[in-house]
């Protein structure tokens, strides 16, 4: 009896899955799978605070810094840049 109650509880609980597709092919594949399995779903649009090209540029710069591909400037040297 306990197993049946657990299954009913699971069936009544609404599970939420969040996916982060990065391109149109992934979006289309997710939609196709959900439709094929007859799973109700909704697509929520969210505003991205930053342009994707800008984000990629920052991520690339961080990677280069970790690899030592950067120029270190002291605060005194930094001040001289503006003169």
pLDDT by residue for the chain (83 residues), tens digit each? 455 555 555 555 577 888 889 888 999 999 999 999 999 888 887 776 778 889 899 999 999 999 999 888 888 777 777 77
pLDDT at 4: 54
CA distance 55 to 62: 11
DSSP 8-state code for residue 65: H
Residue with tokens 């094929």: 36
pLDDT at 59: 93
**CB within 8 A of 27, min separation 6: which ones?**
21
**CB within 8 A of 56, min separation 6: which ones?**
none
Contact 41, 34 (CB under 8 A): yes
pLDDT at 14: 72
pLDDT at 38: 92
């Amino acid at each position: 009896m306990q197993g049946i109650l657990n299954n009913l509880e699971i069936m009544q609980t609404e599970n939420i899955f969040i996916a982060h597709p990065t391109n149109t092919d992934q979006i289309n594949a997710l939609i196709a799978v959900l439709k094929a399995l007859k799973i109700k779903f909704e697509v929520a649009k969210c505003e991205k605070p930053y342009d994707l090209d800008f984000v990629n540029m920052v991520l690339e710069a961080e990677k280069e810094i970790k690899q030592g591909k950067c120029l270190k400037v002291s605060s005194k040297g930094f001040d001289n840049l503006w003169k």
